[in-house]
Each structure stands twice: as structure tokens, then as C-alpha cells.
């Protein structure tokens, strides 16, 4: 029995009702139901917006910390667990020279700079023997970075709200979007970061998405309803 019929039956049992009174009861019950339905429908939208705000706040935190501390920071996203956190390494870090194909295992895709060491064996030997301060600075950049989670709340794994999940993450070190595994976006001390797209979706309504677009030079983040095209490498 619907709520409207229940109210109507109770009223009729108590006393006789005119047609006008019956119509007023139905209008009131219908209005109450109409108010509940949009509120329930808006819950997923609220979760999506809140999740986007949380991710945006972490990226802003990474950008600010990198600029203030002169340490490279990275926002790390576990696309399978739908969690994210902040890590740092002392000083600068090497960015991949060319885009790579994304991986779907648990390794952080943005660490593909390891191949740089193999290409520069001879140069490394010269740098190791050099006493020049500039050469030593280059050597420090070429060493594999040791990353650690920040020792505060930003370093803890934060989960997306409700049924919201990561649809994909793309950074300018990748040839394509990553939809599984772990990926990191770098924030450098010089006040710049990677160009990136972070796409969030409602797990129940997959057409309901928001994309966070990260600008590399300013660190600004724009939120869009559509997923932008991946920029060409020639740009």
C-alpha cells in the first residue's frame, strides 16, 4: 500500500471526508514525495563533487609544498583501490624524456626514468670522478629517487566518496590513459607540474563524470564535465 493510500484510508476511517479534503491530502502527500526524490538523486552528484574537491586539494597541497620546500612532491593514485596520497623526495627529480606506454601493475608509472641511467653510463663515470659542483648536482638528479609518504595527513591514503571511482588518469609522461594500477603526478620545486587529466566517475552512473585538468606551468586545476583529448606529442 502506498503512503498516499495509507493516509487516505486513515482519514476516511476517522470521519467522512469531502472530495475537496481528499484532493488536498493527495496533493500534500505527492508534494512530500516529490521533495524526497530529487534529494536522493543528488547524493551521487554530491559525492562526485566532494571527491573532485578532495583530489584538487591534494594536488594544490603538492604544488605548494614543492614550491616552499624545494623538494619534489608527487600525488599518487591507486586506481584499483580508489585511494590517493602525497609523497616527496629530497631535491629535484628526473622527468621522463619521452612518453611511455602506461603499465597496469602496481609500479608507479612515472618512475620510468630508470632507463636514463643505462643510457648515460659513460657520462655517469665522468660525473662521479668530477669535483665540479655543477657536475655533482647533475649526478644527484640522475640517482634513483627515494620516495616516502609525507609524515602528516596528506601522506595517508584517502578514499573517494561513496561509489565514486577513478575512471582513468593521464599525465604528460604517458602515451595513453591509465585505468588500473598505480600512477603518480609530479610537482617540481620550480613551480611547475605535469599536464594531467584525472577522470572521476560515479560507480553506479558511469556516464556521470568529472575531469580535473592540471595545467603544467601554473598548477591550476580546472574541472570539466567532458574528458579532454590527450594533447599530441608535437604540441
Angle at the Cα of 129 (from 127 to 134), degrees rounded to 5?
A: 45
Question: Which secondary-structure segment (H or E) carries 159?
Answer: strand 158-159
Return the SS3 of 192.
Answer: strand
What pLDDT does residue 204 have?
A: 76
State the pLDDT confidence band at 61, using cuts at 50, 70 and 90: very high
State the pLDDT confidence band at 38, using cuts at 50, 70 and 90: very low
Query: Of residues 183 and 19, which shows the higher confidence score?
Result: 183
Q: What is the DSSP string of 129-150?
A: H---HHHHHHHHHHSPP--EE-
What pLDDT does residue 49 have?
A: 93
- In this prediction the pTM is 0.69
Q: Is pLDDT of 16 > 70?
A: no
Q: How far apart are CA 165 and CA 102, in angstroms?
A: 19
Percent of the chain with pLDDT over 70: 60
What pLDDT does residue 87 have?
A: 96
Bridge partner residues of 183 (DSSP): 77
Cβ atoms within 10 A of the Cβ of 110, count? 21
Classify 3-224 by CATH class.
alpha beta
Q: Is pLDDT of 8 > 60?
A: no
- pLDDT tens digits for range 115-135: 544 555 556 556 556 667 665
Q: What is the DSSP string of 19-55?
A: HHHHHHHHHHHHHHHHHHHHHHHHHHHHHHHHHHHHH
Q: How far apart are CA 226 and CA 212, in angstroms?
A: 10
State the pLDDT confidence band at 40, using cuts at 50, 70 and 90: very low
Amino acid at each position: 500500500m502506498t503512503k498516499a493510500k495509507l493516509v487516505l484510508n486513515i482519514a476516511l476511517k476517522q470521519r467522512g471526508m469531502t472530495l475537496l479534503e481528499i484532493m488536498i491530502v493527495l496533493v500534500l502527500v505527492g508534494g512530500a514525495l516529490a521533495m524526497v526524490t530529487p534529494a536522493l538523486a543528488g547524493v551521487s552528484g554530491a559525492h562526485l563533487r566532494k571527491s573532485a574537491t578532495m583530489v584538487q586539494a591534494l594536488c594544490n597541497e603538492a604544488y605548494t609544498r614543492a614550491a616552499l620546500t624545494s623538494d619534489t612532491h608527487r600525488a599518487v593514485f591507486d586506481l584499483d583501490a580508489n585511494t590517493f596520497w602525497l609523497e616527496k623526495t629530497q631535491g629535484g627529480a628526473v622527468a621522463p624524456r619521452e612518453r611511455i606506454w602506461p603499465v597496469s601493475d602496481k609500479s608507479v608509472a612515472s618512475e620510468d626514468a630508470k632507463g636514463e641511467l643505462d643510457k648515460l653510463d659513460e657520462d655517469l663515470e665522468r660525473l662521479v670522478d668530477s669535483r665540479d659542483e655543477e657536475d655533482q648536482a647533475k649526478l644527484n638528479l640522475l640517482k634513483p629517487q627515494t620516495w616516502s609518504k609525507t609524515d602528516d595527513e596528506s601522506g595517508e591514503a584517502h578514499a573517494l566518496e561513496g561509489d565514486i571511482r577513478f575512471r582513468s588518469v593521464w599525465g604528460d609522461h604517458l602515451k595513453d590513459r591509465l585505468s588500473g594500477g598505480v600512477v603518480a603526478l609530479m610537482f617540481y620545486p620550480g613551480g611547475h607540474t605535469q599536464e594531467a587529466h584525472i577522470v572521476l566517475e560515479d560507480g553506479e552512473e558511469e556516464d556521470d563524470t568529472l575531469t580535473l585538468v592540471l595545467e603544467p606551468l601554473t598548477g591550476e586545476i580546472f574541472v570539466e564535465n567532458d574528458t579532454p583529448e590527450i594533447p599530441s606529442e608535437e604540441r
